[in-house]
Structure 1
């Protein structure tokens, strides 16, 4: 690192902070716009070192950005790793480009974690329906849960009309023919049994 360069002294704490926060998965590089050389590298991953060519290209050909920040955009390493990268054009007091700060984040651990979580989340075998034919409590959970997922609202935020619709589905499924079903349904809908009885009465009155 060119410690005598004023830009390195100015931006080094920022670069070190970002590298420390995202270590060991992020590389931070500070580029010299004028000489097109690397000024400093924190947590090097790409093999670049201070003094190496930056190969930035012409900054005036960049699409305009109100804050001088570009990305996140994708990069690919020679060994097949995918990186999420962000570049920021740093300007001097006169508003002229002075340096470019780049952060390259290795997405490999994130992708591995996502794959692992997806494997746990996805059922690997068909549901054995024979095991649940008599389980009316499972029927309650599935009907209420399906409605909540479809409408994107938690149970606590269901309106009276929502609850009427769910109660109608539960009655169609024969749930209320089971003794003590109202207590289970009331818990699933986060409501009192008296409110549930009122919903049932309203539903049955509305039928021809």
Structure 2
């Protein structure tokens, strides 16, 4: 007696994938076919315009699981007739999936991509196709690392000044140089010049002396005017500083 043959349910019946996924009517399939007809020729053009290293994929959601209807770019190595991604499969199963822009994805080889997905819908809102753009960020990430390395500061730059000011500036003129040094010295004291007492002004002069400010021509006259004192007062401050430092660290004024 011949063995009975068990009839199995086909993978798809009238366009409905096994497992209860969304059914598509003939009208919806026709709509999807029209989207593919219009959008597919744009896929290679769009991939070329978004070079380098960008892949553009058009999915026909009515042909699950072989959804790829058009593809350009070689990032993932997929071809027409291929399946969606795992995220795509989960998303496509939803009755009302949302467009997604600039989300992180990753290939099986660990290549990080920036992806975006836009759905095409029927007049009733049913998604029937999806356009995906995947951009390889490896070169951009590498460029970012190089730029960060080139613009990074060493240990001395992090700790060279108490207030985080740069260790070196590039003034265009001597006046700019003098103004910059004076501004930094006054900011270091932390008191506006019109509120300064003698002790504050002495600290400003001490800071300027340490910065080499008095090697600039007419430096004494410039700082005397800024601190609203006489040039002789500045000399007195320098003498006080010199006396407190000892003979080996005497100030030089000019």
Match of 1:32 among 53, 60, 77: 60
Q: Is the 8 A contact 1:28 1:44 kept in 2?
A: no
2:28 paired residue number: none
- Unmatched 5+ stretches in structure 2: 1-32, 161-166, 169-175, 229-254
Q: Secondary structure of the residue that 1:126 maps to in structure 2?
A: helix
Q: Is the 8 A contact 1:143 1:166 kept in 2?
A: no
Post-superposition offset of 1:57: 3.1
TM-score by length of 1: 0.57
Aligned length: 159
Structure 1 position 72 matched with structure 2 position 102 = yes
2:144 paired residue number: 114
Q: Is the 8 A contact 2:95 2:127 kept in 1?
A: no
2:4 paired residue number: none
Q: Secondary structure of the residue that 1:9 maps to in structure 2?
A: helix
Q: CA RMSD in A?
A: 4.4
Post-superposition offset of 1:44: 2.6
Post-superposition offset of 1:80: 2.1
Q: Which has the larger radius of gyration?
A: 2
Post-superposition offset of 1:138: 8.7
Ranked by relative contact order (alpha carbons within 8 Å, sequence separation 6 or more), the top structure is 1
Match of 1:61 among 94, 100, 104: 94
2:240 paired residue number: none
Q: Is the 8 A contact 1:84 1:107 kept in 2?
A: yes
Cα distance in 1, alignment partners of residues 133 and 125 from structure 2:
22
1:23 paired residue number: 51
TM-score by length of 2: 0.48
